[in-house]
Amino acid sequence: MTAVSAERDSARQEVPEQLRNDVKLLGEMLGTVLAESGGEELLADVEKLRRAVIGARDGSVTGEEITAIVAAWPLERAKQVARAFTVYFHLANLAEEHQRMRALRERDDAANPPRESLAAAVRAIRETDGEERLDELVAGMEFHPVLTAHPTEARRRAVSTSILRISAQLDAWHASHEGSTAAVEAHRRLLEEVDLLWRTSQLRYTKLDPLDEVRTALSAFDETIFSVIPQVYRSLDTAIDPEGAGARPPRARPFVRYGSWIGGDRDGNPYVTHDVTREAMLIQSEHVLRGLERACDGVARTLTAYSNLTPASPALLDALSVAKAGHPALTAEVEKRSPNEPHRQMLMLAAARLRATRERDADLAYPDADAFLADLRTVQESLVAAGALRQAYGELQHLVWQAESFGFHLAELEIRQHSEVHAAALAELRGGGALSERTEEVLATIRVIAWIQERFGVEACRRYIVSFTRSAEDIAAVYELASHALPSERVPVLDVIPLFETGADLDASPHVLDGMLKLPPVHKRLEETGRRVEVMLGYSDSAKDVGPVSATLRLYDAQARLAAWAREHDVRLTLFHGRGGSLGRGGGPASRALLAQAPGSVGGRFKVTEQGEVIFARYGQSAIARRHIEQVGHAVLMASTDAVQERERSAERRYRGHADTIAEAAQEAYLELINTEDFAVWFSRVSPLEELGELRLGSRPARRGAARGLGDLRAIPWVFAWTQTRVNLPGWYGLGTGLAAVEDLGMLQAAYREWPMFSSLLDNAEMSLAKTDRTIAERYLALGGRPELTERVLAEYDRTRELVLKVTGHSRLLENRAVLSRAVDLRNPYVDALSHLQLRALEALRGAEADALSAQDQQHLERLLLLSVNGVAAGLQNTG
């Protein structure tokens, strides 16, 4: 038995029994569906490839034998097999989600809070820092996730909803007992839904427009986010004071505020117009008003407190009288339905007013969310005065928290545009000639911001992010454009946020901010906001430009410099982290990354982008969504403590010199590779880069302009394409050379143990390496016809893998992360199957005889390629 097969057998044995049973159940159902749909021959072909790729892992089957199996099939059969493995991964992912939820339930122990939970943070801070410091940290905590439509979700929405239906039926199956009619029906429904998933196209045939992306992302709000947020606040409140929870004013304040770039980010996306931005806000408002209406109606239905036992306060009676005078028919209907239940009546009226707000009935509608909150607090205060504390601070408090967190706009819609667009627009305006369509669009966007603020309030849309900020003039440009767009009395409130993306821009950021503070509009906003400033750091482009190691150090240094700058200028700084979902774009567990930030750079506040596939991975299931928010909340609190910051400072002092040596050597190796002559051409040949656009992942083009070099290529397709080749180069390339430059292994091992930044860097690289397959990667790299580049990439892989294992002290990759290691080991053979199918397509499309292909074969090969791309993304659980 080989080491690889031994690891796989070990991983299989470690699989929890319930997970193994779920995978077996769903796999058998898929087998039934395949046999019914394509005949026993299709099932036999799928099984033949499955056994072959597993055999390849233990050395009993060669790669050439697998290539022969795949090559022997007609293209139509190859597509069916690719679809089968893709559907299998969707089902396996779902089974793992259910296992994760089971594990969360099993670990739920009020007396012993799970690690990385809000309760664990509260306990730790209370023990080390005391009650006063705990209250201070909780009061100042902010988590601001910003949903973006970056094209990293390979699944169609129809596929995602199909998986959710299967999830519901799997729950029903688990809830029934064997042999019952409920179990028989759940089994039938499960099979029906798996059959439908098989029959649902895995590929989009039309390109998404920005409003499709808005609606897709908001399904996460409807399904989980809206209901989970008050659960998180309750968890924190209970952790602070378990005895009084639900019967006293909450000690936890709402600390989560969602933002969105979907419909607001127009940098490089000509399809996001001012009309799209306006419509996106209306869609958001529709969703949140429906959510608040349902929640308010739900609380009203249950709050059947009789007036003799729970008398209404004078303020509540006055409010009901005002409502009766203005809307006699409505109040009469409410009184008839709920006689002698004044608190319930008020909430029923509030639900009716929410509906009127959604339907634009100006006579009954609320003017804003504050008016709705005022009504809720009137009811709450009346219940308190009547002694009904549990009614005041129970479910009604959840509704208050929801209104405070989401308002009537759900998430702040943020605008982003490139600094060069602003510069060109100003040049036209100053020139006095006719304005281009692009400049008119810039002005129209500012007018829409003003309209949104008038309709939904300033908080609904006030942040304007400037991509590639290089000077204070780039910030001033937005304010000047606003003065051209509208009369001074109608100019919207704007917080213009610089986005620093390249290494040079990160280095220059404090100087740019010095100039920014001197701008009169910025100075005015400082006075209005308590000297708050927000700065965005771009992870994706910096990593693509200089490599993962150097980018990590540069971002760390930028955070430290900006934190020092904020202290010097008495500014409350919020760093906005533009992290991607993949490790090559700054992704990975947000909670662990938070604890590895530069000391002083968190300060109780964390703002981060959550993109594409990450949205549904984190918010697809309520239990997982709650766990994610709790983990981030835990990290925000802990990263803001003196002990954690001092640990980071102390470790940096000891090991920073070695880190600089590593970064310098790693960057040199990375730049030497990507600056090789015709590297971009080679990259496009060894990967499905050019075909990725046909997946129609999102509305935004893959490139910022018409050029075809690496410079204009967005970071997302850069990472996605490398993931497909099983090389995962953006997550680790150069690290091996960097580690080799430090000859003191003991020092590196100590740095890994003691410095969170360094351990996070190596752990993320280790995960990328674990998802890399050297044998299959070599076949992709060979497509480029440049053996010297293939040799260089594989040599760096070997060097990096060897040294990462030595520094971490692991005998195999991910040795210390059992759950993740198990998932990767079990998935890899099935991903191999899709890679072999993808290679068949790529080799034909890139080969010498590509020009001789018939139009039909060309179409079949391209479809096979895209199906396999979709499946690999599902198997590896990340795209870009």
Yes or no: say if 506 and 542 are a contact pair by the CB < 8 Å rule.
Answer: yes
Give the torsion through C-alpha atoms of 781, 582, 822, 60, to 10 deg: -10
Among 58, 57, 83, 56, which residue's Cα sits nearest to residue 67?
56
Q: Which helix (H) or strand (E) holds 683?
A: helix 679-686
Known active-site residue 544: yes
Phi, psi of 413 (to 5 degrees): -85, 115
Length of the chain: 880
Residue in 144, 343, 544, 860 annotated catalytic: 544
Per the listing, tokens 């991964």 go with 89
The encoded tokens of residue 110 equal 């009020």
Residue in 90, 98, 144, 150 annotated catalytic: 150
Q: Where are the alpha helices (DSSP H) in 178-225?
A: 181-199, 210-220
Report d(CA 732, CA 670) in Å as an integer: 10
Among 462, 494, 464, 460, which residue's Cα sits nearest to residue 284?
460
The encoded tokens of residue 345 equal 């009546």
Among 611, 613, 591, 631, which residue's Cα sits nearest to residue 539?
611
Known active-site residue 79: no
Other Cβ atoms within 10 Å of 631 Cβ, number = 23
Report d(CA 282, CA 229) in Å as an integer: 22
Report d(CA 331, CA 523) in Å as an integer: 49
Q: What is 225-258 written as a DSSP string? A: IHHHHHHHHHHHHHHH-TTTTTSS--SPPP-B--
- Helix, strand, coil percentages (3-state) for the chain, rounded to 5, are 70, 5, 25
Yes or no: say if 303 and 339 are a contact pair by the CB < 8 Å rule.
Answer: no
Q: What is 774-824 written as a DSSP string? A: HHHHHHHHHTTS-HHHHHHHHHHHHHHHHHHHHHHT-SSTTTT-HHHHHHH
List, by residue number, the catalytic residues: 150, 544
